[in-house]
Structure 1
C-alpha cells in the first residue's frame, strides 16, 4: 500500500479506481493518450472522479459532466472544463470526443455515435435493465459498421496485478487520490445509502467498522 494512504481511502480503490482505469483501455491494449479529448459522464460520483484523474494523468484533455453545484469539485480533480447536464445536451453539442466514459448510461447508442470522433471509443458503465438489453445488441452492430468502438463495462474484469501496480504508481506520484465525501458508521448504513441515492455525494461514501 502506498505510503500515506489510509485504510478507508484504500478501501475505495479495488472496484471504483480499477473500473475507471479499465474503462480507459480496450482489450486490444488501446488506451487514451496525450491530447485525446475525453468526456466523463457522471464525473462527480463513484467511478467518475477516478476516471477524471486517471485520464488527466495520461495527458488527456478532459471534460466532465455533472450538476452545477458539483462543477468546482470536478474542476478540482483536474477537469479542463465542465458541462452541466441540466442545461446542455452534451450528446448533441457538436463536440467530438476520442473517448467517452459514461458512468450512468441512459442515452441511446445512436445519439452517442454523433459525439464520437472518426475512431472514437464509447464505454458505458451501468444503466437501466431495458437500456442494457438494448445496448447488448446495438453496440456490437455500430462497432462492426464503423471504426467507432462502443461497448459495456459493468464490472471489473478479472483481477490483473498490472492494474493495481498502475494505480499504485499514480497514487504514489500524487496524480490520483481517493476522494472521500463522507464517512458513516456501520449503524448508519441506511443513511449512507440514502445520501448516495439522493445524488448528494461528491466522490466516495465510506462505511467505517
Structure 2
C-alpha cells in the first residue's frame, strides 16, 4: 500500500510517500480502507519533533510511529477478534493512533464510529481529532449550558470552527474572535457576534463571559481571567510558543492547572481523549444539520507535505484533508445525501 512515511524529525520534506505492507488488525481492532485523512496541529508537532519535551513519549531521534496522521474516514475491510457492532463494509470515521496517511490503517474499535449518513468521506475525516477536542472543550471541560455566554478565541481554525457550532447547538450565545479574512466565514457558522482581532482587543472591551475557550493561542492566564465572570471557566486547548522549542506552551498550562484550585474561577487544561461516544455526539449534530465541517483545502497523498506546511503556517481556515482512496471518494461524492453538499469550503490567502 502507498503511505506517507517519516523516518526522522524535521520540516515537511521528511514526509515521503512509499510502499508499506498492509497491516493486520489485532484483538479489538479493525482494518480500514482509507478514503480520506485530515491533518491537525498535533501531527505537525510530531513531524517537527517539537517541543523537545514530548520526544521521550513519541521517539527521541525519530517518531516511533512512522506513518503520520490520526484522523480518517473510510470502509472497514477486516475485523479483529473481540470487535462488536462493526462489520466489514461499514463506513466509519474516527482516529487511527498508528497512522492514517495511508491506503489502509488500523484503528481500535473504540476510537471509530459509523460515519454520518450522507456525509462525504473528506468531511467525515475532518471530524476526528478536532471535532472531539471541540466537543470536550464545550461540554466536558466548559460545561456549557443553554443561555451561557461563550467566548471562542481562535474561532477560524480546525478546532475553533467546530467549537463555535457546538456551543451554538448547546444554546449558548457565542462571541467568536478571528482575523479579518475569516470574519464572514465564522459569522456563517452561527456565531452571535464576531470580533476582528486585528482591529479590536477583546480584553479592552470591558466585557466578561461565562466560558472562554482559548484555542491554540498563548495569552497570559491573567488576561484570560479578566475575560471571565467571577465564577467563569477558561478552557485552555493547547498553546503555541514557537520560540519555546523545549517546552512549547506547556509552562503556561502547568501554571494554570496549579492556580485553578486557589480561585473561584475555573482554569481547565484540556487533554482531549479519543472515543466512539463523542464521535457519536458529533455524528448526531451533523445529521441534524447543526454541525458542518469547514475544509480549508483537499489535496492528494503526494501533496500531503505541502499541506502540513500550510497548516504549520497558521493560515489554514478549518481543516486540511488528504484524499487517499480517490476512486472510493469519487464514488461517494457522486451519491446523494442530506449533507452531501453542505461541506463549507474555505479557500483564501489568509485567515
Instruction: Say if 1:152 and 1:67 are closer, same or farther in 2 by CA, change over 3 A.
Output: same
Confirm whether residue 157 of structure 1 aligns to residue 273 of structure 2: yes
Structure 1 residue 5: deviation in Å?
0.9
Counterpart of 2:140 in structure 1 is 26
* 8 Å Cα contact 1:32-1:58 kept in structure 2: yes
Counterpart of 1:190 in structure 2 is 305
Q: 1:144 aligns with which of 234, 238, 261?
A: 261
Kindly report which structure 2 residues correspond to 1:30-179, keeping only aligned pairs within 5 A, or say none.
31-127=143-239, 128=241, 129=247, 131-141=249-259, 143-154=260-271, 156-159=272-275, 161-179=276-294
* 8 Å Cα contact 2:221-2:252 kept in structure 1: no
Aligned length: 204
**Which 5+ residue runs of structure 2 have no aligned equivalent?**
1-114, 242-246, 325-351
Instruction: Say if 1:158 and 1:73 are closer, same or farther in 2 by CA, change over 3 A.
Output: closer
Structure 1 residue 130: deviation in Å?
5.0
Which deviations, in whole Å up to 9, do the C-alpha atoms of 1:39-76 show, x marking residues without a partner? 11111111000000000000110011111111000000
Structure 1 residue 87: deviation in Å?
1.8
Structure 1 ranges of 4+ moved more than 6 A: none
Out of 30-39 and 64-73, give the one that drifted further. 30-39
Counterpart of 2:118 in structure 1 is 4
Please give the alpha-carbon distance, in whole angstroms, between the structure 2 residues aligned to 1:150 and 1:13.
26
Query: Which structure has the larger Rg over C-alpha atoms?
Result: 2
The RMSD of aligned alpha carbons is 1.7
Question: SS in structure 2 opposite 1:32?
Answer: coil
**TM-score (normalised: structure 2):** 0.55
Q: Which has the higher strand share?
A: 2
Please give the alpha-carbon distance, in whole angstroms, between the structure 1 residues aligned to 2:183 and 2:166.
18
Question: SS in structure 2 opposite 1:75?
Answer: helix
Please give the alpha-carbon distance, in whole angstroms, between the structure 1 residues aligned to 2:128 and 2:196.
29
Please give the alpha-carbon distance, in whole angstroms, between the structure 1 residues aligned to 2:255 and 2:310.
34
Structure 1 residue 3: deviation in Å?
1.3
Please give the alpha-carbon distance, in whole angstroms, between the structure 1 residues aligned to 2:127 and 2:256.
31
**Which 5+ residue runs of structure 1 have no aligned equivalent?**
none
Counterpart of 2:314 in structure 1 is 199
* 8 Å Cα contact 2:132-2:274 kept in structure 1: no
**TM-score (normalised: structure 1):** 0.90
